[in-house]
Amino acid sequence: MEFLSTFFSTISGLGKYLMVPLMVALIGIAFKCNVNKAVKGGITVGIGLFGLDLALSIVSNYLGPVATGLVGKANLNLDVIDVGWTALSGIAYGTEIGAFIIPLMLAFNLIMLAVGATKTMDIDIWNFWHYALTGSLIYVITNNLFFGLLAALAHAAVIFLIADRTAKRVQEVIGIPGISIPHGGCLGQWIVGFILEPLYNLLGKGKTGEEKTISQTNAKKLQDNPVLKVIKDPIYLGFILGTVIAFIGGQDAKTSFTTGMAMAALLYLTPRMVKILMEGLVPISQACSKIMAEKNKSGELYIGMDNAVGLGHTTVMLISVIAIPVCVALCAIVPGNRIIPIASLAACGYNCSMLNVVHRGKVGRTLLSCTIFLALTLVIASIMAPKITEVALSSGYTWSQSEYTLISAISGTLWSTFPLFLLFNINSTIGAVCCLAIIIACVVLQKIYFKKKMQSAAELAKAEKQDH
């Protein structure tokens, strides 16, 4: 145990710019990736982390004072800056937990496949950051690395369970065979969607086919509308929102327009830094996919994908635009909200992609569910803002302003973290026991589920054979 403690301490002492690239390169080599590609991939990830920190410096330099001004001038209790999921991902990978999350999750996925507790082969390595965020938040609360990693595994176990059980519906609605969505940020959408879908049915909507899905042609027209294109474009969106918010916060014209430019830069640069980071993980993801496929040659197997595969659906295309003004309006009226929506607005489509799957493309249902989901996410993200800020500080993100500004994001992954966050705040031991119970329960339930599926398939095949 002392050896492990010393090992983790030594690795984490390197700092994220060395620690994370080193781990990525070693993982690549371990999974038989070309050494040159593995090393280059690790360095590329490090470059992405540097770039993300540079982009995030915009928050402290320009948006922090605006948040303070809003609180004072507009009588709005909005003291939390929304840095978006892209920033959260860089923060999550920059912690001690983040450096070890990729090998941990790959090993966990292989074990789950080996014991028959999942049919999903998750090749979406980049999105392991959701588990890194969960683990990092619990680590900050408990100061216990083991508890943080255990929480990350509990998060993953639940996601694998949901991915397997929703795979057929995902394939049907999105139109891509053989996939599932083991995306760590989708739990909230599944919860809200599957709670509300029976309610919508009970109220009678859609039973006789009155509620229709939007056509591809109409969706494209809306997407191509010049006004809507401006609203959705991160550059215009950032500039307009930044300028307006700064004016509301009592800033002069020069400062307000400069803030608009800063917010446009934040929304434009951050996704590009994430893209660089993702490029570094591509060769490792490919090597890992090859090995995992070889280990699972027989039986049904789903390829785990990012929920981004659902963004091209016509309903999602429409609601990703409508959700932007909806989210801005919600921030002013939702009780308990402290967040100024900024960076997450450009990613509203991600917050309805799986709701769309649950509601099978029905526009009205998906829009209403998305509105409820966003309202609840604002509250959860506000509650967790102090700890998210603490995680950011532990990953090396610093503020240059004397005024202390909290950060958070309107991110679905917080739905997975929030229950564990509450449990570990009550008592660390209770939280750890619950995480272990969640993992065991998921494994047992999955094995029972797949056993019943096999029995049903066998009985069906037998019945068909008798008929012939």
Residue 161: pLDDT band (50, 70, 90) is: very high
Is 226 within a domain? yes
Is 127 within a domain? no
Kindly tell me if the per-residue pLDDT of 85 is higher than 90.
Answer: no
Kindly tell me if the per-residue pLDDT of 414 is higher than 90.
Answer: yes
Most confident of 104-108, 155-159, 223-227: 155-159
Closest CA to 89 of 49, 138, 129: 129
Tokens of residue 122, six digits: 């998750």
Cβ-contact 101, 152 below 8 angstroms: yes
Is 30 within a domain? yes
pLDDT tens for 191-225 read: 999 999 999 998 864 454 445 555 555 555 655 66
CA dist 447 and 431 (Å) reads 25
Is 325 within a domain? yes
Is 225 within a domain? yes
Q: Is the dihedral of CA 34, 35, 36, 37 positive or negative?
A: positive
Is 155 within a domain? no
Looking at the 3D structure of the chain, how many domains does it have? Answer: 1
Range of the domain at 238: 13-83+178-412
Is 286 within a domain? yes
Q: What is the mean pLDDT of residues 341-370?
A: 87
Q: What is the mean pLDDT of residues 439-450?
A: 94
Kindly tell me if the per-residue pLDDT of 235 is higher than 70.
Answer: yes
Residue 415: pLDDT band (50, 70, 90) is: very high
CA dist 428 and 219 (Å) reads 49
Is 361 within a domain? yes
Average pLDDT, the chain: 81
